[in-house]
Amino acid sequence: MKRGFMLILFLFQTTVSTADESVREEIRALQARLAELERQAGKPRASGGNEFNPRITAFGDFTGRIDNGPVRNENNEEISDRFNMREVELDLRADVDPYAKGVLITALSQERPLQPASVAIEEGYVLFTALSRGVSAKAGKFKNAFGILNQLHLHDLPQSTLPLPIQTFLGEDGMAEMGLSVHYIMPQKNPDHVLSLTGEVFNGENATQFGGVSSRDPAYLGRAKYYMELDPESFMELGTSYMNGKRVTDNVHHRNEVLGGDFMYKWRAHQPKGLWSTVVQGEFFYMSREEPALAIYRRNASGAYGLLQIQPYQRWFAGVRYDRAQVLNNKTLVDRKIGGYVSFYTTEFLRLRLGYEYQNSAGPEIGGTPGPDQSTIYGQITFVFGAHPAEPYWFSK
């Protein structure tokens, strides 16, 4: 009797165990099938953005200003105390083929109140990415690699305005010319130190430096930048730029040179408990221009700015900037500007900014009427929508 009971129990256990095993097998098979389906479903998602259509980003830059007196632009139109949709920028970029990318940045801007908006190609170039290790090249119209801030678009600037020396030496909106640019990252022995070189040749027709007339003489630009990682949270850059071209006045061509130096230090906390980040930056410009009609033969002028920005909270940035620039045609006259700003990012796509600038102009003021003193309070709203923007790596991160 006992033996019979044991036999039944054994058979029962074996049956249950076999059934368990079979269920487990079934679960394993289903899990494998599910994983395979998940893999198939997930496959296209990891392919990254390589769509045929260009990625489109739109930037809007809306400003308002309050001035302590009437301010007029170079066309004698009053620009003080008003709102202005300063710029709407459309950024399109896509792979052209396996060897190159295309970038087109157009801007609709209304710099003159009560006038129709103007459309301009801010940049439009093909970027060759498959030349050689460390080498990339641009052909088209692009922001010239002179210094640091000249390479940024208006909406990427840490303040509402370009520094005075950039406007004085490179143009009111900076310098963006048509030509060729080659960038080379030197092979590095020390991974924390990088030397990069840029060479450019472009039409020498910039209004500020080369007379703004059609010219067969190209201009040349060279830039060297040395980058150092100081520790995991901070780095520093030292750069020098040199530009050479011919200035055309009365059909006579004169040599024109601009030399620049720049530095930038950035610290950003990986584990922010107090300050999140700090940027200290400055640029120096020196121009030397042949003026055979003058007794002195050569005219020169210089300018510089310094900037300090802190990030006290994740979404808050504040900074001050001091500008100084000698007037090109009379270096005994000096324009000065000092200003501060506070920026708040709701996200990286929407920024609100409040700024104040005091300018003491000794000569004809850029973008405004001549006047010894001018105080302006700026409000600015910058918004971005569309594809993720390519951002400068040192300010808003």
Partner 1 sequence: MRPISICLLLSWIATSAGAEVRVVATLPVLADIARHVGGSNVTVRALAKGTEDPHYVIPRPSLAAAVSQADLFVELGLQFELWTERLLDVAGNANVMPGRAGHVYASQGIAPIEVPQHLSRAEGDIHPEGNPHVWLNPQNGLLLAENIAAGLSRVDPDRAGDYHENLKSFSDRLTAKMDGWTKQAVPLRGFKVVSGHREWSYFAQAFGIDVRGTIEEKPGIPPAAGHRDHLLAQMKREGVDRIILAPFEVTRITERMAALSGARTIVIPANVQGAPGVNDYFALFDVILSTLLKETPGRGE
Site string for partner 1, 134-173 (x = CB under 8 A): xxx-------------------------------------
Give the residue with the Cβ less far from partner 1, 373 or 391: 391
Nearer to partner 1 (CB atom), residue 76 or residue 271: 271
Instruction: Determine if 43 is a binding residue for partner 1 (CB under 8 A).
Output: yes
Q: At 82, which amino acid appears?
A: R
Q: What's the closest the beta carbon of residue 237 comes to partner 1, in angstroms?
A: 8
- Candidates 8, 53, 114, 133; binder of partner 1 (CB under 8 A) is 133
Three-state secondary structure of the chain: CHHHHHHHHHHHHHHHHHHHHHHHHHHHHHHHHHHHHHHHHHHHHHHCCCCCCCEEEEEEEEEEEEECCCCECCCCCECCCCEEEEEEEEEEEEEEECCEEEEEEEEEECCCCCCCCEEEEEEEEEEEEEEECCEEEEEEEEECCCCCHHHCCHHHCCCCCCCHHHHHHHCECECEEEEEEEEEECCCCCCCEEEEEEEEEEECCCHHHHCCCCCCCEEEEEEEEEEEEEECCEEEEEEEEEEEEEEEECCEEEEEEEEEEEEEEEEECCCCCCCCEEEEEEEEEEEEEECCCCCCCEEEEEEEEEEEEEEEECCEEEEEEEEEEEECCEEEEEEEEEEEEEEEEEECCEEEEEEEEEEECCCCCCCCCCCCCEEEEEEEEEEEEECCCCCCCCCCC
Spatial contact of 223 and 197, defined as CB atoms under 8 Å apart: yes
Smallest gap from Cβ 125 to partner 1, in A, equals 12
Beta bridge partners of 183: 136, 198
Selected binder of partner 1 within 194, 243, 264, 279 (CB under 8 A): 194
Q: How far is the CB of 331 from partner 1 (least distance, A)?
A: 35
Member of 193, 230, 255, 293 binding partner 1 (CB under 8 A): 193
Residue 159 CB, nearest distance to partner 1 (Å)? 20
Q: Applying CB under 8 A, which part among 46-54, 151-159, 211-219, 368-376 lies near partner 1?
A: 46-54
Could you tell me which of 281, 201, 278 has the C-alpha nearest to residue 244?
201
- Which one among 315, 340, 344, 367 touches partner 1, defined by CB under 8 A? 315
Of 75, 76, 251, 347, the one binding partner 1 (CB under 8 A) is 347
Could you tell me if 245 and 220 are in contact, meaning their C-beta atoms sit under 8 angstroms apart?
yes
* Closer residue to partner 1 (CB): 76 or 314: 314
| Two structure tokens written together for 297 | 């033969």
* Min dist. Cβ of residue 92 to partner 1 (A): 15
Q: Which is nearer to partner 1, 74 or 233 (CB)?
A: 233
Q: How far is the CB of 133 from partner 1 (least distance, A)?
A: 5
Stretch that binds partner 1, among 16-24, 117-125, 211-219, 270-278 (CB under 8 A): 270-278
Residue among 193 and 298 whose Cβ is closer to partner 1: 193
What values do phi and psi take at 305, rounded to 5? -140, 160
**Interaction of residue 189 with partner 1, rule CB under 8 A:** no
385 binds partner 1 (CB under 8 A): yes
Candidate segments 124-132, 151-159, 163-171, 331-339, binder of partner 1 by CB under 8 A: 124-132
53 binds partner 1 (CB under 8 A): no
Choose, by CB under 8 A, the member of 293, 313, 373, 375 that binds partner 1.
313
Residue of 195, 197, 193, 215 lying closest to 206 (CA atoms): 215
| Cα-Cα end-to-end distance for the chain | 82
Among 348, 370, 373, 381, binds partner 1 (CB under 8 A): 348
> Which x/- pattern, by CB under 8 A, does the window 74-103 give for partner 1?
------------------------xx-x--
Size, binding site for partner 1 by CB under 8 A:
58
Query: Smallest gap, in angstroms, from Cβ of residue 307 to partner 1?
Result: 18
CA torsion sign, 214 to 217 to 218 to 221?
negative
> Which spans of this chain sit near partner 1 (rule: CB under 8 A)?
38-39, 41-43, 45-50, 98-99, 101, 127, 129-136, 183-188, 191-194, 196, 225, 227, 229, 232, 235, 237, 266, 268, 270-273, 313-315, 347-349, 385, 388, 390, 393-394, 397
